């Protein structure tokens, strides 16, 4: 699984054979430049998701329910989800939390909409945690996470993202569930992995957590390409006689 937020990248990832594209609310950070995922709106998520869907022919497209669009009550959660499904053409939604959002998860599922859970570091709760460090290192939090994973599975979620938790805990949870877990900073025993595209392609070079493997350095390559473009124009070398009408 990889994130995408627009048509062009979604088309590349879908063509490359990725199973799942997540239209993450990380769009708030990497597309809009906000410090957290909290400011992104439902309308903005719908804009990103509909573009991603237009770029896909094979990949499953999952959309994050943004902060404030589902925490109020289960009716609000369903209304937000129905907007996403109707206005984007995506296949499923993802929401952060366990027991505390269970009513909403059940109501959305009862409307026939597939739901993916998200446990561990849940960035929409950053002001409760106070930091982006590894979650569930202590026994009480680890026990709650295991219980939440069971509850989400029993409710009918088709998968769960496990973010930034100890690899041993992710291994235990993954082994105990029959639905797949998708890890980010949760070790190799999850059933699948997800990365934010800007991080794995090296577009965003300020973010270098230990769990990240950077497959390209697009920041550097793009900077060099733009330098060449500027140089060519200033040297009156672009456009040349073959690049004009
Ligand atoms: O918003 C996002 O990109 C996510 C992934 C980090 C799982 O939720």
2 neighbors 18 (Cβ within 8 angstroms): yes
Distance from the alpha carbon of residue 233 to the mean position of ligand 1, in angstroms: 39
Tell me, yes or no, if the pTM score tops 0.95. Answer: yes
CA distance 45 to 66: 7
- Catalytic site residue from 138, 139, 141, 163: 163
Average pLDDT in the 129-141 region?
Answer: 97
The residue whose CA is least distant from atom 4 of ligand 1 is 24
Residue of 194, 207, 211 to test ligand 1 pocket, by largest number of atoms within 8 Å of CB? 194
pLDDT band at 11 (very low <50, low <70, confident <90, very high): very high
For residue 15, name the pLDDT band (cuts at 50, 70, 90): very high
> Which own/partner contact pairs does 46-49 have at CB distance under 8 Å and 24+ positions apart?
46/83, 46/84, 46/87, 46/88, 48/5, 48/6, 48/23, 49/23, 49/84, 49/88, 49/90
The mean pLDDT value for 27-39 works out to 98
Q: What is the pLDDT of residues 53-76, one digit of tens each?
A: 999 999 999 999 999 999 999 999
HSE of 122 in the Cβ direction (CA atoms, 13 Å)? Answer: 22
As given in the structure block, the two tokens for residue 213 are 């493997």
From residue 78, alpha-carbon distances to 25, 44, 95, 103, 116 in Å are: 18, 18, 12, 10, 14
Q: Is the CB of 96 within 6 Å of ligand 1?
A: no
The verdict on the CB of residue 177 being under 6 Å from ligand 1 is no
Contact 184 CB / ligand 1 (< 6 Å): yes
pLDDT value of position 33: 97
Residue 14 Cβ contacting ligand 1 at under 6 Å? no
154 has catalytic annotation: no
Q: Residue with the nearest Cα to atom 1 of ligand 1?
A: 24
Residue closest via CA to ligand 1's atom 2 equals: 24
């Amino acid at each position: 699984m990889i994130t995408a937020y627009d048509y062009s990248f979604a088309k590349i990832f879908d063509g490359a054979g990725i199973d799942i594209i997540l239209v993450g609310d990380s769009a708030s950070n990497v597309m809009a430049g906000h410090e957290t995922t909290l400011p992104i709106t439902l309308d903005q998520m719908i804009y990103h998701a509909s573009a991603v869907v237009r770029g896909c022919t094979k990949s499953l497209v999952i959309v994050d329910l943004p902060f404030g669009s589902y925490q109020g009550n289960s009716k609000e959660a369903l209304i937000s989800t129905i907007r996403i499904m109707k206005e984007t053409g995506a296949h499923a939604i993802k929401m952060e939390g366990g027991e505390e959002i269970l009513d909403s998860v059940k109501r959305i599922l009862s409307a026939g909409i597939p739901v993916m859970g998200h446990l561990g570091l849940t960035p929409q709760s950053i002001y409760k945690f106070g930091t982006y460090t590894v979650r569930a290192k202590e026994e009480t939090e680890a026990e709650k996470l295991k219980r939440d994973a069971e509850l989400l599975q029993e409710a009918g979620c088709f998968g769960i993202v496990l973010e930034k938790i100890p690899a041993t805990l992710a291994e235990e949870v993954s082994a105990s569930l029959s639905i797949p877990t998708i890890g980010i900073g949760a070790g190799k025993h999850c059933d699948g992995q997800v990365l934010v595209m800007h991080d794995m392609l090296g577009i965003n070079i300020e973010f270098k957590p230990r769990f990240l493997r950077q497959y390209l350095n697009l920041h550097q390559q793009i900077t060099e390409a733009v330098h060449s473009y500027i140089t060519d124009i200033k040297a009156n070398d672009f456009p040349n006689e073959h690049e004009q009408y």
